[in-house]
A and B are shown apart, each in its own frame.
Chain A
Amino acid sequence: MMAGNELYVATGLIVILIGFATVLVKRNLLKIVIGFSLIDSGTNLLIVALGFYPGRTAPIVNNPDMLANRASLLVNTAKVVDPVPQALVLTAIVIGVGVTALMLAYVVRLYATGKTLDVRQFGRMKW
């Protein structure tokens, strides 16, 4: 790991672990969904942190200094953070929202059928 982003990486990992702990320990369906949201957020944070270089700015060209070569409009890569992880995270966030929404939809439907939010009540199909 490059120096400077340990804090963010560690935070991301911790959030992911908290999320997994929630998913594995909490019996309430809603809390489990929250756990998955934590996992998503932690993952996103972690990915962004992976592409982060201390002292660099966002990969958006808003002043000419950031261009390495005015003629060809190429970005000076030494001045910006890696843009790819950020693009990935954007997509991942969108997907995460979709999946969370679907999970919540399931919770609603499950509650309608079982009048309970206890995950243990939804294990009739087994073996």
Chain B
Amino acid sequence: MVNPILLIGVPLAVAFLLPLVDMLGRRTARAVHLLTLAFELFVAGEWLVQFLHGAAAVNIITGGWAPPIGINLRLGPLEAALVCLAALTGIGSALYLAHHEEVGSLRGLVIQLLLVTGAIGLIMTRDVFNTFVFLEISGIGTYSIVIFGKERSALEAGFKYIALGGAASTFFLLGVAFLYKITGTLNLDDMIHKLPMAVVAGTGTVLLLLMVGIMSELKLFPLNGPAIDLYDGVEPGVMALIVGTTVNALFFVFWKISALYTGPAWAAMFASVGMTTFLVCNVLAIRQTRVRRMLGYSSSAQIGLLVFLVPFVKSGEVALSAIALLLVNHTFAKAGLLWLAGTHGGEKIKEWKGAFSDSLALRIALATFVLAMTGLPPFPGFWGKWQALVGLAQHGHGWWIGAVLVGSLFEFVYYFGWLKEALTPAETVPRGAVGSPLSEVFGSLLYAGLAIALGAKVLMQVWGGFKTPAIFLGAAGFVLLFIRALPERFKAALTLVAVAWVAWGVFAGARACPLWDIRGFFLVMVLFGAFVISVAGLGIPAERGSFWGLFLILVGSIIGILYSSSLLGFFAGWELMTWSSYLLVSQGRHGPKAGYLYMLFAAAAGLLVLGGMMVAESAGVTTLAALVSLSGGVALAAWGLLAVGFAVKVASWGAHIWAPGAYAESPDLFTPFLSGVISKIPIFGLAAVVARIAAPSVATAISSISVAHILGWVGGLTAFGMTLLAVFQEDMKKLLAYSSVGQVGYVVLAMALLTPLGWTAALYYAVNHFLFKGLLFLAIAGVIYRTGVRTFADTGGLIKRMPLSFIAVLIGIIALAGVPPLSGFAGKWLLYEALMDKGWLFLTAFMMLASVMAFLYCFRLIHSIFLGQLKDKDRNVREAPWPLLLAELLMVIPILALSVRPQLLIEPLQHLVTGVFGVPGVRFASAATMTTHFGYFNAAAMMALVVVLFLVLLFILLTVGPKPTKVKQLDIVYAAEVPPSPEELQYAWAFYRPYERAFAPLLKARVTAFWHGVVDVVEGVAEAGRRFYTGNAQTYVLYSVLFILVLAAFGLAR
């Protein structure tokens, strides 16, 4: 093994020798520079492998003096890992900076090495004063590299940084000196040993001085003003280097030195300062318009989170791996984002439209980093955050968890706000990355790849290997993302094969999955839905190359949810589903904006679910099955948080505003899946997660009321409210969007009944909605594909051109409306019987009203598109492509089968609900007649009656009376006038205006106004709050002084 002292010696020596090497040419100097970093990586890596195999940490004694007199260094697993990260980041930045002249110069090379050396020194040293020296070396490195900047902003930032750094190092040095006076040693380990024995007045003050010095270097609130300026003003490649080296090293210094700080007061101080930083910086970041400044706030926040966790790790409450994963995640993502920001060059967020539209790899890298930064799976930060929260939960730190979740939400706000811009196609030629050489973006790609690989590795530990369906589909999707040359229809065929393959494996029993339990039930729906979408994809080509790859990842993630038995596995799949569906939604024409709103609500839903799971974890529950054991207040909190989370995800009334846009603007090919399948997954959540917890009751003024009843009303309100809004839509996809949300409201309501009949109704309704809404969205996709329009005013009379699509929509709306004899009626019937059986009478009548209101939009949909007058522009429109019609047929067949025999589904459902409740909900009086406590229904006889009547009357129509003559389109009885153009005859705009007038008081956009109000308040707070950073160097120094005084006032200066 190489002597670890060389980790410091070699780069230091090379830094001094580099000017000589440079005489051989700049290329040689660069090569030597890179070789040096490679050497660091190799040595540290080799040691790291040793440590991971159980080797003990090594102490290196310098100058022949044993500690405590001499300075010693230490290399252990943490140190080795951090050195590896520093070297990797150094290589990435060196390659990147070679393309950016002013800092890629000889001086730049030297200073880059100086920064790396300083960081490695900080990481390895065990001597307090030596820490000070390396701190200053790093500082000087930073100051000098910044001064190369030609721009005034960089200079200003540098001066502020040096000013605050001067104050900070004074605090630090004073702290060191007094500590030496108190303990008589400068060796950290010795000092840790001796400090508790020294009872000297003022020790607290000394420790406080030292800590403020470190916190200032760590850029914690309120000492982070200059650091944020630095992010904004300095060449981003340099900042990436600083993130990967100095920032990590400083955090490690904090980690080491925090051993001196014992007692609850200090732990509380660390946690408070860290959490304050995390919250404040995340909130302030949402008002940033400049990319790198925003990244600066984010960095502060992330370091704040790490600092917050330190006392909990020290006390053994949180696993060390949580911090490690979060730190690695932050390094990968933040350095990667900074390099990408430099390569792109757009300083303002608004300039990022269409970013990297010519480079698939960079787009994937950008998305990867944003997802990683926001703590989404499978990236390391997700697992780190989970571990941290579990640790906090298990030791009763509920409020801290709440703070972490709130802060995380703001991260979504600004990161996805940025990604929204990047995903929005540019009106003009997009900036950046046009032919950027591989070496410039090498670091980004490397870190993206590492983040994906590391994340995938953990994910496979949770979910299983490549043979599990979820991982198989996810991996297949990931591969498909990179295949650019194939036509989209061929990719659809590949997707079809992959889905069919998995389905075959599942249903042939090769991978055992018990069918007709709740997850088997949803599994069938998901795989069938994915299959149908792939078939449709053979007809309508996807507009973006990444559609099918993301689609497979999405399907895989849903299957991962269904297969998971642990809370962690479930939640990982949940969040994977969230972001993959978000990216798919964003592929639509106005998708990025709608997708952003979708993501915010989905993120909030995810955090609520996470919160609920943490409540469960606090009671020691880690698997879904164990949720049964919850009781009392814990059960109420878990039930409430989970149910609200799932309710937000199904866009319940109040949180519904994301849904119409997301449904309407997502790619036409994706909407059927979004509406049909994804909206059902929260229902699975209710069934498989929430329902395992016994529904508690809450006391109200009148009587105690079951939370399930509240959820029922939420579902009912959603069903009613969304139906009402759907009536007035002028856009066909928006109409169906509101309808979808409303229909899922019925399912939520039925789930909330928590009776066998209620669940039968819910699950039957869920399948039925999947079928008819999928069918409707597919048919509408065909109409949009052929006509190119989406508003009702632009269509009409298409029955003449697209009769098969008309029939598809007709079947869809009859099933939706619940009119016998199609399958929808059985759903309504089950729902009402279940509601009556439970005794929720008002909800029954309320739902009857909502159901009838659905007729209004059903008729609107079919009339405005297919009936009335065919427009002149549509005279040559063709029928939808045959694969799409085939996909529709695949949905129609089950609808018709269920219409004749709803038992096909209801009978197996009885096994399912019997498994849950012990008794079936529906009984079968005969083979065809279903009965409940309240009523009976014979679908087959009903269908027979209708068919017979139809045939008899058709016979009468064909035989009686004169043979009808077909007249032309405009041959209508028109008050003795000649009818004008079809456009003027079509009654299609503001179709239900009188109805709108009648309901005017209900239609005020109160919910939207409420959310606008929330946004205004948060933005107002962020806007006012960020003025804290006045930009004046003196203010920042003043803050550092005041910070000491405030902390002292809290009694830390003993």
Contact = CB atoms under 8 A, between A and B. Distances in A.
Direct contact of A and B (CB under 8 A): yes
A125 B230 CA distance: 9
Contacts of A114: 152
A124 B152 CA distance: 10
A95 to B, nearest CB: 5
A109 B154 CA distance: 11
Contacts of A24: 1034, 1037-1038, 1041
19 contacts: A20-B167, A23-B1037, A24-B1038, A29-B159, A43-B170, A47-B173, A88-B177, A91-B129, A95-B140, A99-B166, A102-B140, A105-B147, A106-B147, A110-B156, A113-B152, A120-B1032, A122-B156, A124-B1031, A125-B153
Nearest to A113: B152
Nearest to B289: A127
Interface in A42-61: 43, 46-47, 50-51
A85 B180 contact: yes
Contact of B147 (A25, A46, A51, A109): A109
Nearest to B152: A113
B965 interface: no
A43 B173 contact: yes
B69 to A, nearest CB: 9
B178 interface: yes
Pick the most buried of B166, B178, B1037: most chain A CB atoms within 10 A of its CB.
B166
A80 to B, nearest CB: 15
Nearest to B1030: A126
A81 B1032 CA distance: 43
B1034 A102 contact: no
Interface string B216-258: 0000000000000100110000000000000000000000000
B170 to A, nearest CB: 5
B157 interface: yes
Contact of A106 (B158, B1030, B1038): B158
Contacts of A103: 159, 162-163, 166
Contacts of B139: 99
Nearest to B225: A126
Contact of B177 (A46, A109, A110): A46
B510 to A, nearest CB: 60
Contact of A95 (B136, B156, B1030, B1032): B136
Interface string B148-191: 00001101111110110111011001101110110000100000
Nearest to B176: A88
A64 interface: no
A110 B1027 CA distance: 24
Pick the most buried of B139, B152, B165, B186: most chain A CB atoms within 10 A of its CB.
B152
Contacts of A107: 159
B167 A113 contact: no
Contact of B143 (A23, A102, A113): A102
B494 interface: no
Given A32-B163, A95-B133, A123 B1032 contact: yes
Given A20-B1041, A40-B170, A124 B156 contact: yes
Given A32-B1034, A106-B158, A109-B155, 18 more contacts: A20-B1037, A23-B1037, A32-B163, A32-B1033, A47-B177, A51-B181, A88-B177, A95-B140, A106-B143, A106-B147, A110-B152, A119-B1033, A122-B156, A123-B156, A123-B1032, A124-B153, A125-B233, A126-B1030
Interface in B760-784: none
User: Chain A, interface size: which category?
Assistant: 35 or more
Given A39-B170, A99-B162, A102-B143, A125 B177 contact: no
The 10 A-B pairs at the shortest CB distance, nearest first, are namely: A126-B1031, A123-B1031, A113-B152, A47-B177, A127-B1026, A125-B229, A123-B1032, A122-B156, A95-B136, A106-B159
A83 B143 CA distance: 31
Contacts of A84: 180, 186
Contacts of B1038: 24
Interface in A3-29: 16, 20, 23-25, 29
A122 B177 contact: no
B287 to A, nearest CB: 8
Contacts of A119: 1032-1034
Nearest to B177: A47
A92 interface: yes
A119 B156 CA distance: 9
Given A36-B166, A39-B166, A46-B177, A102 B1037 contact: no
B1008 interface: no
Interface of A: 16, 20, 23-25, 29, 32, 36, 39-40, 43, 46-47, 50-51, 84-85, 88, 91-92, 95, 98-99, 102-103, 105-107, 109-110, 113-114, 119-120, 122-127
Contacts of B174: 43, 46-47
B140 A106 contact: no
B178 A50 contact: yes
B629 interface: no
Contacts of A91: 129, 133
A125 to B, nearest CB: 4
A102 B156 contact: no
Contacts of A95: 133, 136, 140, 169
Contacts of B129: 88, 91
Given A32-B163, A95-B136, A99-B166, A106 B1029 contact: no
Contacts of B176: 88
Contact of A50 (B159, B181, B233): B181
A114 B158 CA distance: 15
Contacts of B152: 110, 113-114, 122, 124
A125 B163 contact: no
B1033 A122 contact: yes
A50 B147 contact: no
A121 to B, nearest CB: 9
A32 B1036 CA distance: 13
B232 A125 contact: yes
Contacts of A99: 136, 139-140, 143, 162, 165-166, 169
A94 B300 CA distance: 31
Contacts of B981: none
B159 A110 contact: yes
A43 B171 CA distance: 9
A109 B176 CA distance: 33
Contacts of B173: 43, 47, 92
B144 A102 contact: yes
Interface in B999-1054: 1026-1027, 1029-1034, 1037-1038, 1041
Contacts of B1037: 20, 23-24
Nearest to A37: B166
Interface string B117-151: 00000000000010011001001100110010000
A89 to B, nearest CB: 9
A40 to B, nearest CB: 7
Nearest to B226: A125
B256 to A, nearest CB: 19
A113 B155 contact: yes
Contacts of A120: 1032
Nearest to A25: B1034
A23 to B, nearest CB: 6
A123 B1030 contact: yes
Nearest to B157: A125
Contacts of B1027: 126-127
A126 B293 CA distance: 10
Contacts of A105: 147
B167 A23 contact: yes
A116 to B, nearest CB: 12
Contacts of A32: 163, 1033-1034
A125 B180 contact: no
Contact of B155 (A23, A46, A50, A110): A110
Nearest to A88: B129
A111 to B, nearest CB: 10
Contacts of A88: 129, 176-177, 180
B938 to A, nearest CB: 71
Contacts of B233: 125
